[in-house]
Chains A and B, each alone.
Chain A
């Protein structure tokens, strides 16, 4: 169980460095995070992009990059293509996005000939460290799948549970979030929740304990759950929150960051390698923690 995001470090200690390829590398925060992770022996970076631009940023910020491999490719889209191809040919273990839009990167990731498709759905997985919760809490999917149907939710849960299993959670507790903990025919999320719970009971979704629908308070507070008389192994001790859709997920994610000063690490799952796809506006710390997560999830 992870209490803080920094506990991820314990998981990668003693493991060989993961090869991380940074596409369109001429981005200050990305470079800062990558170089820090390199210095901490977590990764072996490969930077792809405009060599002069990369060197200028590093000089300006006193980043020492001697010994780091740089592949010169001034065309951003080409740099992404090279990075993805390195990952699909196993020359890199982690793909990271630099100064380029997410859609451009994802288009390459999904390329049928040389992309990183596995047949699984791609989904976004985030880990939050919030002072008011007794451990880190994972949340999916707050950024990628817009309005997942039941089959997609199964895939999203499987992606996230697979990742949590790698992070040392043998049976993560999964709360399927709704507005209420009751089943309500007019709220599709609560119906999906009931189905996911039953599939879990029948071993059709494995390696986790699923309960839902749970309202947010029941999911994270035992007192709330008990107050409502909910009997649940998950309530109050949730490891993973499954969002009903991107709007709920995205607002929750941003409110945790802005109002609760949460620290966050996030990656894209379901591709051949974990993808660090933090927003260009994310802090260097968030990018660093995401790199750490991607290394820990890349067993």
Chain B
């Protein structure tokens, strides 16, 4: 079982496979730095799509040899995004990564009905592996980035993707906590209704390969002591692998708070696509971007 992002990197290095990545609108120093590190470590080849002059200039100022990747000149961010997606669709690359382009424009290319990368009828969502020094393993969280208020079907899909990712990390039967403000069922919390339905679906094998419970508050999900104090019987038992949040606005501050105040580190991916798609905030560090590339290679 992979318990840290460094262990994830080791695992990917041990696979001894080289994946091809297309980066859309690539003239971004953090992105170039992260890609360079991955190339140096031997597990990717990269095609940088964007303003070649700027890319070359950035490489020079960072002391990076621009010849380690292929540069494809592109006029604007939309064309760059469409081109990166086209390459993945045609099988020319295994992974697509967002560079300096705005998330909306990039996802529009990814979600294009004819030329995009969506698996038919799938839900586009986001799953991240979060490393928190005070927790004894990685936490897979969803969805901090794509679906504002997931409905039941979307929550079921989110859980499925998070379970799939946790299993890639060697967690055979991940414990999935459906996060609320309390463990009680309440008419005032719509999400508790969805959660109860999902638990029964897991009971009946309609959601597979997991141990699911919810609503649970964060303490009951991740802290054994709280279980003892509250006396709540839950199979998750303070040992969650996956946290499913009721909304983007609850999940997003959760991971940002942990990164900012608790030395958290994160690697995340868009899910629901035929091939891994890396979308990170432009302000994210080179390290985070590197871990996202590593994760995409593990999931590819």
B205 & A229 in contact (Cβ 8 Å cutoff)? yes
Which A residues lie within 8 Å of B184 (CB)?
202, 204
B204 & A198 in contact (Cβ 8 Å cutoff)? no
Complexed CA–CA distance, A194 and B202 (Å): 11
Query: Which residue of the partner chain, among A182, A185, A198, contacts B199 with CB atoms under 8 Å?
Result: A198
Which A residues lie within 8 Å of B195 (CB)?
198
A199 & B185 in contact (Cβ 8 Å cutoff)? yes
Query: Which residue of the partner chain, among B152, B197, B203, contacts A195 with CB atoms under 8 Å?
Result: B197
A198 & B185 in contact (Cβ 8 Å cutoff)? yes
Residue of A nearest to B201 (CB): A183
Complexed CA–CA distance, A182 and B156 (Å): 14
**A241 within 8 Å of B (CB atoms):** no
A185 & B152 in contact (Cβ 8 Å cutoff)? yes
**B224 within 8 Å of A (CB atoms):** no
**A1 within 8 Å of B (CB atoms):** no
Query: Which residue of the partner chain, among A194, A199, A231, contacts B197 with CB atoms under 8 Å?
Result: A194
B200 & A194 in contact (Cβ 8 Å cutoff)? yes
Tell me the smallest distance from the CB of B37 to a CB of chain A, in Å.
46
Tell me the smallest distance from the CB of A206 to a CB of chain B, in Å.
13
Tell me the smallest distance from the CB of B181 to a CB of chain A, in Å.
14
Counting chain B CB atoms within 10 Å of each CB, the highest count among A185, A194, A195, A232 belongs to A194
Which B residues lie within 8 Å of A183 (CB)?
197, 200-201, 204, 206
**A266 within 8 Å of B (CB atoms):** no
Complexed CA–CA distance, A191 and B152 (Å): 11
B152 & A198 in contact (Cβ 8 Å cutoff)? no
Contact residues, A2-37 vs B (CB, 8 A)? none
B86-123 to A contact mask, C-beta < 8 Å, 1/0: 00000000000000000000000000000000000000
Complexed CA–CA distance, A231 and B204 (Å): 8
Counting chain A CB atoms within 10 Å of each CB, the highest count among B199, B200, B203, B205 belongs to B200
A181 & B185 in contact (Cβ 8 Å cutoff)? no
Contact residues, B221-236 vs A (CB, 8 A)? 232-233
Contact residues, A169-218 vs B (CB, 8 A)? 181-183, 185, 191, 193-195, 197-199, 201-202, 204, 213
Which A residues lie within 8 Å of B204 (CB)?
181-183, 230
Which B residues lie within 8 Å of A202 (CB)?
183-185, 232
- Knowing A183-B206, A185-B152 are in contact, say whether A197-B185 is a contact too (CB < 8 A): no
Tell me the smallest distance from the CB of B253 to a CB of chain A, in Å.
27
**B193 within 8 Å of A (CB atoms):** yes
B165-199 to A contact mask, C-beta < 8 Å, 1/0: 00000000000000000011100000011011101
Which 5 A/B pairs are nearest by Cβ-Cβ distance?
Answer: A198-B196, A194-B200, A194-B197, A195-B196, A183-B201
Question: Besides the contacts A197-B200, A202-B184, A229-B205, what 9 more A-B pairs have beta carbons closer than 8 Å?
Answer: A183-B200, A183-B204, A185-B153, A194-B201, A195-B197, A198-B200, A202-B183, A204-B185, A230-B204
